[in-house]
Amino acid sequence: MSFPKKLTAKLLQRKENNSLRSLGKEINLVDFSSNDYLGLAKSEIVFNNVHQFLVAQNIKQNGATGSRLLSGNHKLYPLVEKQLAEFHNSESALIFNSGYDANIGFFSSVPQRGDIILYDEFIHASIRDGIQLSNAKAYKFKHNDLLDLEEKIIRLNDSNNNNEIYVITESVFSMDGDSPNLKEIVQICKTNKAYLIIDEAHAIGVFNKGLVETTEIHNDIFARIVTFGKALGCHGAAIISSNELKNYLINFSRSFIYTTGLSPHAVATISFAYKELPKLKEQLQKNILFFTKETQRLNLNFIKSESAIHCCIIPGNEKVKLIAQKLQEKGFDVKPILSPTVNKGEERLRFCLHSYNSFEEITSVLENLATFAL
């Protein structure tokens, strides 16, 4: 059977732009690319604790057996959701199968026809996809530009006929590693009666309970999306919210309703990973500070970041792929981020820092980068 011509043309265009994606292979290099910021994905402590817990509870089940509204709401779900709500100082938490599912489920169901969604122009693809499924109107505002956000809210409020406005941003952006002024966004939303949603995927664990609680704004947020595939080292996500919103999502969020639940093992892993968070954050913060000082010593041009994500802009897919390859040949797993994932001319090397990276590894990878980037 022949392959569709239009699809062939799109793949060919990617090859010509030097931006064709492929699945990575497992490699034994120093990790500067994974989202496993605290090393919990490889934690024997978590693995063993989960196993012992399941054995002790006589839970010998490989799958959830169905959606949570049918047969899949096994006894670990309410226990772990209660744990998450208490940890994040919230009324409730609702676990989804992934961060993608959580964002799709929220934005496709919560904003209604006639409502407005205002989103940061650098917002994650999963949020964009959820917005596309919504019946609400959506407008972007300039990245971390709160004056632009405020002007848009005021203008839309004047002609919105009392429909709701939802504002969505991230506490740490995955491609730049930077953060907005969350306290100022809260004030803008409170003044203009807009509902604020914050995706905390890359902040949980890096900044303890996340930047929402670090900045003490958790009581002013309509919803938080927290994901477990980054610093928690496992799988799934949760929407942290009021009891009313949780009940609404259970009834109307299609990515929650029409999918098989997570296995007992997956839900138990979330619980035990959370218990390890307070023990690991200190070394990660030390590594972030050391990395920043080394980039300054070597006069490397990195986007300002206090998170675990640090990006060096190297324009051009071909050039950034070449430098990444040279670093990999020296033993460092550093990935290039190519257009169209980022805008053309903003291609970059993306360094993810971890609690288990040593100071020696950080110095070595940056000194090599300084040599290759000349």
pLDDT digits (tens, 9 = 90+) for 237-266: 999 999 999 999 999 999 999 999 999 999
- 149 near 118, Cβ under 8 Å? yes
Residue 279 scores a pLDDT above 90: no
Q: What is the pLDDT of residue 199?
A: 98
Binning pLDDT at 50, 70 and 90, where does residue 372 land? confident
pLDDT of residue 93: 98
CA distance 93 to 96: 10
Task: Tell me where in the chain the CATH 3.90.1150.10 domain(s) lie.
Answer: 27-39+280-373
CATH class of 44-277: alpha beta
The mean pLDDT value of the chain amounts to 94
CA-to-CA distance for 66 and 71, rounded, in angstroms? 5
Distance between first and last Cα of the chain = 49
What was the pLDDT predicted at 362?
98
Residue 107 to residues 103, 115, 117, 188, 363, Cα–Cα distance (Å): 6, 11, 9, 21, 42
The HSE-up count of residue 363 (CA atoms within 13 Å, CB side) is 4
- State the average pLDDT over residues 287-307: 94
pLDDT score for 1: 84
Neighbouring residues of 230: CB distance < 8 A, sequence distance ≥ 6? 35, 36, 37, 201, 202, 204, 205
What is the distance of C-alpha 21 from the center of its chain?
Answer: 20
Q: Where are the alpha helices (DSSP H) in the chain?
A: 5-16, 44-56, 76-87, 99-109, 125-132, 146-158, 182-191, 211-214, 243-252, 254-257, 264-297, 317-329, 359-372
Q: What is the pLDDT confidence band of residue 314, given thresholds at 50, 70 and 90?
A: very high
Q: What local confidence, expressed as pLDDT, does residue 374 receive?
A: 60
- 3-state secondary structure at position 225: strand
In this structure, how many other beta carbons lie within 10 angstroms of the beta carbon of residue 35? Answer: 18
Q: pLDDT by residue (tens digit) across 154-177? A: 999 877 677 899 999 999 999 889
Q: What pLDDT does residue 301 have?
A: 87
Which tens digit of pLDDT belongs to each residue from 23-38? Answer: 877 778 999 999 999 9
Write down the CATH number for the domain with range 27-39+280-373: 3.90.1150.10
Predicted pLDDT of residue 27: 76
**Angstrom distances, CA of residue 7 to CA of 11, 17, 95:** 6, 16, 36
- Residue 70 has a pLDDT of 95
Residue 135 phi, psi dihedral angles, 5° rounding: -90, -5
C-alpha separations of 188 from 59, 131, 244, 312 in Å: 48, 22, 24, 32
pLDDT band, very low/low/confident/very high, at 120 (cuts 50, 70, 90): very high
Beta bridge partners of 52: none
Phi, psi of 117 (to 5 degrees): -115, 125
Per the structure block, which two tokens stand in for 92?
């409730």
Distance CA 363, CA 290 (A): 9
Check pLDDT > 90 for residue 68: yes
Amino acid occupying residue 225: I
Q: Evaluate if residue 99 carries a pLDDT over 90.
A: yes
Which DSSP symbol is given to 136? S
CA–CA distance, 189 with 335 (Å, rounded to integer): 37
Q: How confident is the model at residue 17 (pLDDT cuts 50, 70, 90)?
A: confident
pLDDT of residue 368: 95
pLDDT reported for residue 157: 85
How large is the C-alpha radius of gyration of the chain? Answer: 22
User: Is residue 332 classed as helix, strand or coil in its secondary structure?
Assistant: strand
Average pLDDT over residues 121-141: 96
Residues of the chain with CATH 3.40.640.10: 44-277
Whole-angstrom distance, CA of residue 152 vs CA of residue 115: 14
- Going by pLDDT thresholds of 50, 70 and 90, the confidence category of residue 47 is very high
Q: Is 208 exposed, middle or buried (0-12, 13-18, 19+ CB in 10 A)?
A: middle
* DSSP state letter for 112: P
Give the Cα separation of 185 and 116 in Å (integer): 17
Q: What is the pLDDT of residues 321-350, one digit of tens each?
A: 999 999 999 999 999 998 888 888 989 999
